[in-house]
Every structure is written in structure tokens, then in C-alpha cells.
A and B are shown apart, each in its own frame.
Chain A
Amino acid sequence: MKRIYLDHAATTPTHPDVVEAMLPYFSNSFGNPSSIYSYGQEAKGAVEKAREKVATLINARDEEIVFTSGGTEADNFAIEGVAFANPKHNHIITSTIEHHAIIETCKFLERRGFEITYLPVDKDGLVNPDDAREAITNKTCLISIMHANNEVGTIQPIKELAAIAREAGVYFHTDAVQTAGQLPINVDELGMDLLSISAHKLYGPKGVGALYIRKGTKLVPFMHGGGQERNRRGSTENVPGIVGFGKATEIALEVMAGEIERQTRLRDRLINNILEQIDGVRLNGHPTKRLPNNVNVSVDYVEGESMLLNLDLENICASTGSACSSSSLEASHVLLALGLGHEQAHGSLRFTIGKWTTEEDIDRVMEVLPRIVTKLSAMSPLLKSHK
């Protein structure tokens, strides 16, 4: 049976052209970019070419791109880098629905004397820019709000948020891990100072990402070492990974417009079919200000992991915000922040569409999902007590 992968927000398969572009840098062109002989310079040239491609994706200047080990490092770098570079300003504003890479970094700083404001979101997952404006104090150094949420797909008003930060003389960071390569991003038009990207979410390899740092932004290096990345991130460059990342961003830009249209159509087909054909379902996240590839629903009276297991038996890969499937045994902080009850958070199901998802794949989900829900509902003690 064909495996249907609908978890592209978790990771994407590396594009075959990306793999091909990377291969020479494991063998023939293995040099260290810091070496002055030709092997080294070949590698350095490849890294700089990739930097140009990543910069192009978000309309940045090459020297504003610092390669990292991924989205998590980029997020840690942005938050800690700004926090430690501005000792007199110990207040950071973020939201309750950020990725753990942001929330845990903020909690780490909180334990070290920083003050963090976690802005609430509305039922659709949107941050209110007025809340951000009101939260700013004379101690604020940074506002960090994600571009789009990885669980529910809600796209934040980051242009407005960045303008508020700019006006107050506060840096603005956005975690664009879910949007880079998927939606158009122009850092000058949107106005952020810092932006995180991960390669493996855009059909690049795992273990590489980037932090965009607007020229003039003051931040402390995250990794201390041999002066790579203009002294902002020590460590020998992950040359094959960076080359793959560059190639992936190039492809993403080429296909972006068509993919947004195509994936939005598949997304809406799946959402509408689920809402029409299954009882007791609600859509989580904003209905329109939403990633083109994100479908997140909660099914009443049915637990998420048991739905995932049943889907997996049908060779369909999806994801859930249920506590049962997390190592922490806590329900998704994002769904709870949207105001869902614990049962609804446990009953959530996320499908994220990708480049190779077809209409047949979506229809296959609709062939099996209603049956799965019926089977599990019949087993649920919650259903009876609500009747």
C-alpha cells in the first residue's frame, strides 16, 4: 500500500535535486572553507553561493545570513544573542503559542532574572498587535512572534508587529520555520530584524538552518570558536548541508506561487470534507489567515493517538496535539492557548500537505478517517455522558 505522508510541518523529504547538489561536497570537494588552498576555496565558494540563494529567498543581503545547525539554534541565537547584548534591557515579549525553541529559551532567561511577557492569542490563534504595544516597557529589548504557527497554521500580523517594535526602538524577531520557502517573505517590506529558517522544512537536509540578522543589529555570538560566519558563529561550516539548503531555497522560490495555489486547494478540500462528513469536528486555527498546507481539527470524544495509530495502519502519516503522543504527557500548549478544553486538545489531528501530495491522497484520507472516528467513538465513554 502506498504510504501517504501528511506531516510536512514535522519534516519534508529532501528533494532529489538537493541530494544531488550536496553529494560532491562529501567527497571530491570536501575541503574546509577556512583553508586557503583550492579545496578550501572551492568549499568556501559553494557556501557563499548558497548564502546568496538563502538571502534571495527573503530579500536579504548575503552578509545578513548566518548559517546555523537548524531552526532551534537560530531561535536560541536570536533570543539569547539580543538578551545578552543588551544588559540594561531585560524584558522580552513573545506569545503563548511559540515553538518550544522560543518558549524554553525564554524560560531559561526567566530563571536568570529576565522578565518575559507571553502575549495571549484569540480563539483562532492570532496575537493582537495592541497587546504587544501595551506590553512594551523601557526595559524591553526584543519582541519575538512566530510568522505562522506549526500546529494550527495561523499566520500572524508580523508586519504590524515589526512596525510597533521599530517605533519603540525594540528589536523584532520572527520564527519563520513554517513559512520560509512556503510563503513570500521580504524582510525589508515586513521589517523584522531577525528571522529563523530551517532547511529540512523546505525540502532541504536536516541539521542546517539560518538566522537572518539585519545589518546593525547588536547581538552576542551564540557559538564561540574559529571566527566563521563573520565571528557570529564559530564552527567549521556544514558545507554539504549548506549547499543543500541553498539549492532547496532556489527550488522553493521557483515553485512557490504554484504550490501556494495548489496546496491551498488541497487543504480546503480536506478541511471541507472532514467538516461535512464527520460529526463533532471543529477546525483549529484561523480559517483563512492560515498556512496553505495546514489542516488541524479536533474530533469530539476521540483521542488523537488512537486516531494516528489507526491512520498508520492505513499507511497514512499525520500528527496530534494529544498528551498521549508527547513525551511530556501534556496536551499541546498551542491548542490550550486557543481556548480548547483538554478533551478537544487530546482529540486533535494535524495533516500537513506537501509538494508531492495529490488529490487522491486527500480522498484516501476521507475514505478511512470517518470509519476510524466511528469505531473509536463507539468505544468512547465520553460520548455517552454527553448524550
Chain B
Amino acid sequence: MPDIQSLYSEKVMDHFRNPRNVGDMENPDGTGHVGNPICGDIMELYIRVKDNIITDAKFKTFGCGAAIATSSMVTEMIMGKTIDEALEISNKTVAEALGGLPAAKMHCSVLAEDALRSAIDDYHSKQKKGEPETKAKMN
């Protein structure tokens, strides 16, 4: 009997078992909140940006194994990248970095991409309002 874990690659299971960068962030420079309860996946992504570089990322996710693993992976992928570099990340590159996802779970990777774009949009709009990049630093 193949077990449930064989649904997912080793990398997915690794990120599911030990998700990286779980948690909240005080005064993030950008927040992405995506998903809806009907499909069962909700993700929040927080980013800290300094000199146009993402220096920290945290997430919280309500969802299945694939949703949690893609959330964790995307936080790892964006850290240290410039905003423009981060915007090049797509759901496909996240799925590839995880060693692939089952076809029925590809939509979960879209959640991660959407959360990233939403967090960057939020960052940009805060910038326009003239908010400092990192409030926390000033406190």
C-alpha cells in the first residue's frame, strides 16, 4: 500500500515537516494575504526590505501539505533577492525547486506566487506613501 507521503517528493515532505520561516513579523515592509476559505488555502506572507533587497520573510499558511511546502519554499527563495529578482519567481519555479508537485496540487503553488506579488505590491504602495522601509529599525 503506497502511503500518503508518496504523493509528494522528498523535498516537499522536508519543507512540510520542517517549514522554514514560519511566524509573524513586527511592522513588515510588505504583507501579502491571499487565498480563500472555499478552496481551503489561505496564506500570509510578510517581507522586510532594505535597500531594495528582501532581507527577511515570514509566512503563515492554512492549507494542505503542498500549500505549506510551497509557502516555506518561497520564503527561502526570495531572501537576499532584489524586488525585481523576486518578481521573476513564478509558481512553476517554486514547484520545480520542490522537485515537482502532483498535478492536482499545482494550484497550491499559485498561492505562493500570489502571496509574493501581493506582498511586493503592498511594499510598493507603502513606498509611495513615503513610509520608511523599516519602521522596526527606527523604534
Contact = CB atoms under 8 A, between A and B. Distances in A.
B37 A303 contact: no
Contact of B68 (A306, A323, A342, A343): A306
Contact of A301 (B40, B41, B62): B62
Interface in A325-356: 325, 327, 329, 331, 341-343, 346
A376 B17 CA distance: 10
A378 B40 CA distance: 17
A379 B22 contact: yes
Contacts of A322: 40, 64
A111 interface: no
Nearest to B17: A313
A312 interface: yes
Contacts of B38: 323, 331, 342
B107 A329 contact: yes
A329 B38 CA distance: 9
Contacts of A135: none
A210 B60 CA distance: 49
A308 interface: yes
A260 B60 CA distance: 43
A253 to B, nearest CB: 28
A283 interface: no
Describe B's contact surface by its main secondary structure.
mixed
A230 interface: no
A112 interface: no
Given A306-B68, A329-B104, A346-B40, A312 B3 contact: yes
Interface in A110-158: none
B43 A379 contact: no
Contacts of B17: 313
B66 to A, nearest CB: 8
Contact of B60 (A312, A325, A384): A384
Interface size class of A (residues with CB under 8 A): 20 to 34
A346 B42 CA distance: 11
B40 to A, nearest CB: 4
Interface in A295-311: 301-303, 305-306, 308-309
Interface in A187-220: none
B64 A302 contact: no
A87 interface: no
Most buried by A among B5, B19, B104: B104
Contacts of A343: 37, 62
Nearest to B108: A324
B33 interface: yes
Contacts of B22: 378-379
A194 B39 CA distance: 37
B63 to A, nearest CB: 5
Contact of B64 (A324, A341, A380): A324
Given A346-B37, A346-B62, A381-B44, 18 more contacts: A303-B41, A303-B62, A303-B64, A309-B65, A312-B5, A324-B66, A324-B67, A327-B104, A329-B104, A341-B37, A342-B38, A379-B60, A379-B62, A381-B42, A381-B43, A382-B62, A384-B24, A384-B60
- 3 closest Cβ pairs, A-B complex: A324-B64, A305-B64, A381-B60
Interface of B: 3-5, 16-17, 19, 22, 24, 33, 37-44, 60-68, 104, 107-108
17 contacts: A302-B62, A303-B40, A305-B65, A306-B68, A308-B4, A309-B5, A312-B4, A313-B5, A324-B40, A324-B64, A324-B66, A331-B38, A342-B38, A346-B40, A379-B62, A381-B61, A382-B42
